[in-house]
Amino acid sequence: MNSKGVKYCFKNDSRKAVYTAEECPNLFYGRGYVQLTRYDNYLRAGSELGVDLVKNPELALQPEIAAKIMRLGMVGGWFMGRKLAHYFSGSLKDFVNARAIINGDVKKNGQ
């Protein structure tokens, strides 16, 4: 759902938002520990995990799958282009800024 509570999704590899269930029965709104959104993210996560999240997006809510999405996404930089290695490497341990891996906009999302 967007900030106004409207359900949305992306279909047919398009980045154009589709807002009605009739046009897009599998809604790709935020699910799981990282609030996975967008068709392309469901497609990628499903492909990486060997699970069809496009046809079964509700599977992203299952704890084991949600945890794998979070781990792979944080290590691989799926969400904001930043990886765990940007914040944790050798003696570097930046817990505060590491949240940018998933929720990158500190001004928008709080400090």
CA distances from 107 to 1, 12, 78, 87, 100 (A): 21, 33, 21, 19, 11
Q: Read off the tokens for 58.
A: 């509700």
Q: What is the pLDDT of residues 47-106, one digit of tens each?
A: 999 999 988 999 999 999 999 999 999 999 998 889 999 999 999 999 988 888 887 665
CA distances from 54 to 24, 57, 59, 73 (A): 11, 6, 10, 17
Show the domains of the chain with their CATH numbers. Answer: 9-78 (3.30.20)
Q: What is the pLDDT of residues 39-63, one digit of tens each?
A: 888 889 999 999 999 889 999 999 9
- Burial (CB < 10 A; 0-12, 13-18, 19+), residue 42, is buried
The answer on pLDDT for 17 being more than 60 is no
pLDDT at 81: 87
Q: Read off the tokens for 64.
A: 């084991």
CA distance 109 to 58: 25
Per-residue confidence at 32, pLDDT binned at 50, 70, 90? very high
Mean pLDDT value of segment 8-31: 60
Are the C-beta atoms of residues 101 and 77 closer than 8 Å to each other? yes
Per-residue confidence at 20, pLDDT binned at 50, 70, 90? very low
Percent helix, strand, coil in the chain, to 5, is: 40, 10, 50
Q: Read off the tokens for 67.
A: 């945890």
